[in-house]
Amino acid sequence: MSFMSINQRMKDTVELFIKIEDWQDRYKKIIDLGKSLPPMREEFKIETNKVKGCQSQVWLGVDFKDGLIYFEGDSDASIVKGIVALLLGVYSGSTPDEILSTKPTFIEDIGLKQHLSMSRSNGLNSMIKQITIYAMAFKAKLQMEKS
């Protein structure tokens, strides 16, 4: 597998959605992304992996291999599961530094933020915050291993 930067994955995501003009069709695409999300390992579906601040149930599990963070996610709501898939498609397979130095501009670029209810928008922010917390933790772990 060739390495693709987080910026390239964000750009690809924006290009995918910009082609879809109708918001009903964009929602369908988001739901399809959720359906194509690989099943989350059961050992990750635990209380500590639940994202706080989401109205639906959202889990975010993480592995750290060879300096890269790999996420797994799931939700009991189809549109939210699609949003999880969208975020994982951009952030999974990135270094902690990449995640911490990259603003999630793709969310605004595809118009998602403006088309979410307040509770879903809060949930999206909670998911991004959780991804950032994992990145900070793994960055700290790497720094400790170096010293």
**Pick from 103, 94, 101: which is nearest to 64 by CA?**
94
Q: Which residues contact 94 (CB under 8 A, 6 or more apart)?
A: 6, 68, 69, 102, 135
Residue 88 tokens, joined: 């994982």
Q: Is the dihedral of CA 133, 126, 71, 2 positive or negative?
A: negative
* Residue type, position 58, single letter: V
Q: Which residues contact 66 (CB under 8 A, 6 or more apart)?
A: none
Q: Known catalytic residues?
A: 54
By the 8 A CB rule, do 69 and 78 touch?
no
